[in-house]
Amino acid sequence: MAESIAFTANADRKIIYDEIVPQIDSLVFGETDVVANLANIAAVLREAFGFFWVGFYVAKDGELVLGPFQGPLACTRIAFDAGVCGHAYTTRETVIVPNVNEFPGHIACATASKSEIVVPILNSDGTVFGVLDVDSDTLDDFSQTDADGLGRVVKTIERFI
């Protein structure tokens, strides 16, 4: 059982993603509980990058419902057509928002959140399982490097859901 992760502190984000993705793969390998795996993945991402909020919303009963997360309190339920998470869910595309206050329909779960990236997670049949949501308390904190790195993390998730 893993008790820690190793990564190069203060390194470029691409380097950190390259270091932690294989560790996430090992961490979830053989574990069949989705909640346990999502919880550990959220913890790894928050520890490695110091993001303000990292978590998952899972599609249930016609809306996105809060799943495992790390950070301050969060919105419990989000409509499929609301906010950044709903937009990523309905478009099935990663969404990078440099300034959440400029995103039409943004849901302010935490006023300290300034920028956001949301990556959809697909089931094996192509339907959307949910989303990986990452918030920063810094404007314009996410780039294509994060989209690629978090996309790799989501590929790991898609193998066990």
Find residue 156's DSSP bridge partners: none
Find residue 55's DSSP bridge partners: 69, 133
Q: Which residues, in sequence order, are CB contacts of 130 under 8 Å at separation 6+?
A: 56, 57, 58, 59, 64, 67, 89, 120, 121
What is the predicted pLDDT for the residue at 19?
97
What is the predicted pLDDT for the residue at 89?
97
Per-residue pLDDT of the chain (161 residues; tens, 9 = 90+): 567 899 998 899 999 999 999 999 999 999 999 999 999 999 999 999 999 999 999 999 999 999 999 999 999 999 999 999 999 999 999 999 999 989 887 777 777 899 999 999 999 999 999 999 999 999 999 999 999 999 999 999 999 99
State residue 13 phi and psi, 5-degree precision: -60, -35
Domains of the chain: 13-160 (3.30.450.40)
What is the predicted pLDDT for the residue at 2?
61
